[in-house]
Amino acid sequence: MQKKNEYAIGVDLGGTNIAAGIVNSSGKVILREKLPTLAKLGGKAVLGRIGQVIDALLLKVDPKIRKNIKGIGIGTPGLVEHEKGIVREPPNLPGMDGMNIKKFLEKRFKVKAFVANDANAYAVGEHTYGAGKGTKNMVCITLGTGLGGGIIIDGKLYVGSFETAGELGHVIIRKEGKRCLCGSTGCVETYVGANFIADRVRADIKKGKKTSIVKLVNGDLSKINPIIIEKAARQNDKYAKNLWNELGAEIGTALISIVNTLSPEMVVIGGGVSKAGDLLFKPIRKQFQEIGFSFLKKKVKIVPGKLSDDAGVLGSSSLVWNHI
């Protein structure tokens, strides 16, 4: 638990940028830094740049605050060996595979460091500072390029025996469905990941479906993305509205399996695609009403995430308090 006047550094390691910040006990980012990742320069160079971003924060911050920084949390793509703090096979950051981020940070900055998968870090962030504050058992999903997940059990991040728990994008909704990159078929991610949505819209347009999306991108179908599709739906485009309804139903179906497994008090949904708001939450909640136990329908809350633009930094910083 974080005390008043205690601070943590959060680092959000992405394929494009490294964003970092110092977070106070109210969950506010009081100082921010950012550097391009330059992943092509290799893993060691990226580690060095993570160090640089943190250096910049420490240089600028009030010394009184500096001495109350209790740790560094970092969220990264890929699988993570949590105890050791090693990252495995991060997509977009191939050079980082096998790197011990925890050891590097602890040696260089002489504070405790904690590493987690970025979707897991986000779940801890929503639990510490956001929509899931005060819950005991909570599930969090992030809708972006893929569908990421994180599970809080008894107030702590749950990673399971092989540190892969919460891979909720690979909950199957159609046994005979689309082949997923992971090897299975019909994983929910293959229906609701941002790229898959855009691919589907392009295919539908080529098949002759009428939609104002074509006009919104001036005929350049490569520009189709969830923001454009949301815009079309807000302008009452029938195709786009239907699409959001379908996407919501797909996500709702996966949530039924997850809730029947975990019986959480809350499901928090964040990530870029979730910004479609009601267009997505209405059909998710509608589908969820199909769940078996009638009292679960009423009790399990399905809510949007509360951490907005700072979600990555806040989530990463909260790893410090999840462990201490």
By CB under 8 A, name the binding residues for its own copies.
Answer: 79, 135-137, 149, 151, 153, 158-168, 170-176, 180, 182-185, 187, 249-250, 253-254, 256-258, 260-265, 290-293, 295-296, 299-300
Using the minimum distance from each CB to its own copies, give the nearer residue, 62 or 89. 89
The token pair at 229 is: 């599709």
- On whether the CB atoms of residues 206 and 214 are closer than 8 A, the answer is no
Residue type, position 280, single letter: L
Closest distance of CB 250 from its own copies, Å: 7
- Give the SS3 label for residue 270: strand
User: Least distance in Å: CB of 259 to its own copies?
Assistant: 9
Q: Which is nearer to its own copies, 223 or 299 (CB)?
A: 299
Q: Is the Cβ of residue 109 or residue 158 nearer to its own copies in the bound state?
A: 158
| Whole-number Å distance between alpha carbons of 91 and 99 | 14
Judged by beta carbon, residue 36 or residue 98, the one nearer its own copies is 98
Of 126, 44, 117, nearest to 85 by C-alpha is 117
Separation of alpha carbons 100 and 104, rounded Å? 6
Q: Which is nearer to its own copies, 278 or 290 (CB)?
A: 290
Q: Which is nearer to its own copies, 153 or 214 (CB)?
A: 153
Least distance (Å) between residue 115 CB and its own copies: 17
CA atoms within a 13 Å half-sphere pointing along the CA-CB vector of 173? 22
Minimum CB–partner distance for residue 103 and its own copies (Å) = 22
Nearest to 119 by CA among 98, 79, 148, 94: 148
Closest to 268 measured CA to CA, from 237, 227, 311: 311
**Distance between CA atoms of residues 145 and 195, nearest Å:** 6
For residue 117, which of 77, 156, 152 has the smallest C-alpha distance? Answer: 77
Nearest approach in angstroms of CB 201 to its own copies is: 20
Q: What angle do CA 98, 309, 274 make, to 5 degrees?
A: 90
Instruction: Provide the minimum distance between the beta carbon of 35 and its own copies in the complex, in angstroms, as a whole number.
Output: 30
